[in-house]
Amino acid sequence: MSTVTRPVVTVTPTGVTPEDVLAVARGTATVVLDPAAVEAMSASRAIVDRIEETGRPVYGVSTGFGALATTFVAPQRRAELQHALIRSHAAGIGAPMPREVVRAMMLLRVRSLALGHSGVRPELAQAMVDLLNADLTPWVPEHGSLGASGDLAPLAHCALVLLGEGWVLGPDGSRREAGEALRAAGLAPVTLAAKEGLALVNGTDGMLAMLLLAIADARHLLTMADVTAALAIEAMLGSDRPFLPELHAIRPHPGQAVSAANIHRLLQRSEIMDSHRDDLSHAVQDAYSMRCAPQVAGAARDTLAFAAEVAGRELASVVDNPVVLPDGRVESTGNFHGAPLGFAADFLAIAAAEVGAIAERRVDRLLDVARSRDLPAFLSPDAGVNSGLMIAQYTAAGIVAENRRLAAPASVDSLPTSGMQEDHVSMGWAAARKLRSVLDNLTSLLAVELVAGVRGLQLRAPLTPSPAGRAALAAVRGFAGEPGPDIFLAPVLEAARAVISGPELRAVIEAEVGPLG
């Protein structure tokens, strides 16, 4: 009998990588604690134990939280204080967050503890590792975090499961009692010591988890946006000259050059493109939605690079409060404030919304008999009785409008809380959540453009499209067929979404034209 070896993600005192987060959130990786991380946590815990012995007041160790920071807590009630904190802060409401988000958030919390500045026992981090390896995912409601002091409520829902309380997600998405799930997995609840409850909930792990997942998705979608743009441009008999490298070298935005190079390469070796190269009556300049595709998608790529840089810095950051310093001091910080992540998520949402908006403009042009350069109305060979892709464009227009609403920044919506102690918050959790919605919508918009572009290429027969066009035709023909009488479009668009989000079409195209940026 063969055994499958699962990949291993090791949490070290220097943290984890974005690839580690994806491997745990979306893959089957096993998580282990590096011995050096255990040593770092033990050293910081020894400092907290000494503070406990001296009895001096330290926030979160011997005092209450937030507006109750000046309330002294007697030594015999400090474990009770930590448990009460978790229960009271697990106050979220709404539908559960996706499994991948919660798993990423838990790994990032383990990472935070393993940096050795939180003053927790190594057993606490190990207990969360055990949850991940047992595939027990806490039920974390979508509403509750303001992004400062970090993602308090979502992290508290995760921590509550460690105590054997709260809920976990069942395999079918149902809600199960955490205590029962722990027993079934052979795990025991933990008892918190001083400061440990606070260390489990303070930080930016939820918003960072969503940003890292979004960055991975956006990186793929921006390449697929170049693919669908090229298909649409080819189907509309556009020119490949605006994508020549020398035209982008004179405006040296790096993302623009990458997108232009992608689109230019995708349009080569095409009988459709060759058919009008020497036609003097052909349009001298294509419309902006065609000609400026790399300027928009390229700016989005540069925005993505900024977001990835911010996320990388956050992955190396200590975001707990208070922090335990190696010299024995315990200092309050504001590192849990999610402004850097909120700004980055909002910025990336704006960029992704515009990539979808320009894609919809190309779809509309493909369907318009007055602008599509001799393609039939709505890409139907029998328009009138049949409506072709008319309503698919309506769907795309509605999604563009929704993305414009979602592109309004969440990070400017601060509201004061905790008796005015926490009088400015980041709304980073909300910014990251809506970024994921924008990217999901972008997937749908590119799916519509994929179907429309393929229909247009099919209607250019007997001319042979580019290798990228042929690959797209092969991928779409199985569920969309050939141009003809109207068909039930919803399943076609769902299948096209799977093509856009998956790796297969890109892999086939890259095998023909080389790697795409």
Q: Assign residue 166 the CATH number of its domain.
A: 1.10.275.10
Look at residue 1 and tell me if it is in a domain. Answer: no
Domain of residue 295 covers: 211-416+425-513
What would the two tokens of residue 58 be?
């330290």
| For residue 50, pLDDT beyond 90 | no
Three-state DSSP class for 33? strand
Q: What pLDDT, on a 0 to 100 scale, did the predictor assign at position 449?
A: 98
| For residue 107, pLDDT beyond 60 | yes
Residue 500 and residue 370 in one domain: yes
Three-state DSSP class for 317? coil
- Last residue of one domain, picked from the residues 165, 181, 203: 203
> Which has the minimum average pLDDT: 18-22, 49-53, 245-249, 476-480?
49-53
- Last residue of one domain, picked from the residues 157, 186, 203: 203
Mean pLDDT over 410-437 rounds to: 87
Mean pLDDT over 95-100 rounds to: 97
What CA–CA distance (Å, rounded) separates 473 from 454?
6
| Known catalytic residue at 59 | yes
Task: Write the DSSP string, 123-158.
Answer: HHHHHHHHHHHTT--B--EEE---SSSBSHHHHHHH
Three-state DSSP class for 51? helix
Mean pLDDT over 429-445 rounds to: 98
Angle ∠(117,119,120) on CA atoms, nearest 5: 120
When pLDDT is cut at 50, 70 and 90, the band that residue 42 belongs to is very high
Q: What pLDDT, on a 0 to 100 scale, did the predictor assign at position 173?
A: 84
Q: What pLDDT, on a 0 to 100 scale, did the predictor assign at position 59?
A: 73
pTM score, whole prediction:
0.95
Residue 217 and residue 180 in one domain: no
CATH number reported for the structural domain that contains residue 358 in this entry: 1.20.200.10
When pLDDT is cut at 50, 70 and 90, the band that residue 76 belongs to is confident
Mean pLDDT over 106-117 rounds to: 97
Half-sphere exposure of 283 (CA within 13 A, CB side): 17
Peptide bond into 409 cis (omega under 30): no
Look at residue 322 and tell me if it is in a domain. Answer: yes
| For residue 108, pLDDT beyond 60 | yes
* Residue 167 main-chain phi, psi, to 5 deg: -135, 155
Q: What pLDDT, on a 0 to 100 scale, did the predictor assign at position 413?
A: 84
For 174-190, the pLDDT digits (tens) are: 899 999 999 999 999 99
Residue 35 and residue 161 in one domain: yes
Residues 6+ apart with CB under 8 A from 347: 303, 306, 307
Write down the mean pLDDT value for the chain: 94
Look at residue 182 and tell me if it is in a domain. Answer: yes
Mean pLDDT over 364-375 rounds to: 95
Residue 282 and residue 321 in one domain: yes
Look at residue 161 and tell me if it is in a domain. Answer: yes
Residue 73 and residue 193 in one domain: yes
Neighbours of 75 (CB within 10 A): 11
When pLDDT is cut at 50, 70 and 90, the band that residue 67 belongs to is low
Percent of the chain with pLDDT over 70: 98
Domain total of the chain: 2
When pLDDT is cut at 50, 70 and 90, the band that residue 112 belongs to is very high
Residue 281 and residue 409 in one domain: yes
| For residue 65, pLDDT beyond 70 | no
Q: What pLDDT, on a 0 to 100 scale, did the predictor assign at position 73?
A: 75
Q: What pLDDT, on a 0 to 100 scale, did the predictor assign at position 3?
A: 60
- Last residue of one domain, picked from the residues 133, 168, 203: 203
Residue 198 and residue 281 in one domain: no
Neighbours of 425 (CB within 10 A): 24
Look at residue 2 and tell me if it is in a domain. Answer: no
Residue 298 and residue 358 in one domain: yes
Neighbours of 76 (CB within 10 A): 7
Q: What pLDDT, on a 0 to 100 scale, did the predictor assign at position 4?
A: 65
Residue 127 and residue 233 in one domain: no
Look at residue 3 and tell me if it is in a domain. Answer: no
Residue 192 and residue 240 in one domain: no
Look at residue 339 and tell me if it is in a domain. Answer: yes
For 442-476, the pLDDT digits (tens) are: 999 999 999 999 999 999 999 999 999 999 999 99
For 149-180, the pLDDT digits (tens) are: 889 999 999 999 999 999 999 888 889 999 99
| For residue 51, pLDDT beyond 90 | no
Q: What pLDDT, on a 0 to 100 scale, did the predictor assign at position 205?
A: 97
Percent of the chain with pLDDT over 90: 83
Mean pLDDT over 437-445 rounds to: 98
Catalytic residue among 9, 21, 33, 59: 59
Residue 496 and residue 469 in one domain: yes
Q: How far, in Å, are 54, 258, 367, 386, 513 from residue 466 at the CA level?
A: 75, 19, 21, 28, 10
Mean pLDDT over 311-321 rounds to: 95
Q: What pLDDT, on a 0 to 100 scale, did the predictor assign at position 250?
A: 98
Residue 110 and residue 251 in one domain: no
Look at residue 261 and tell me if it is in a domain. Answer: yes
What would the two tokens of residue 414 be?
């601060």
Q: What pLDDT, on a 0 to 100 scale, did the predictor assign at position 12?
A: 96
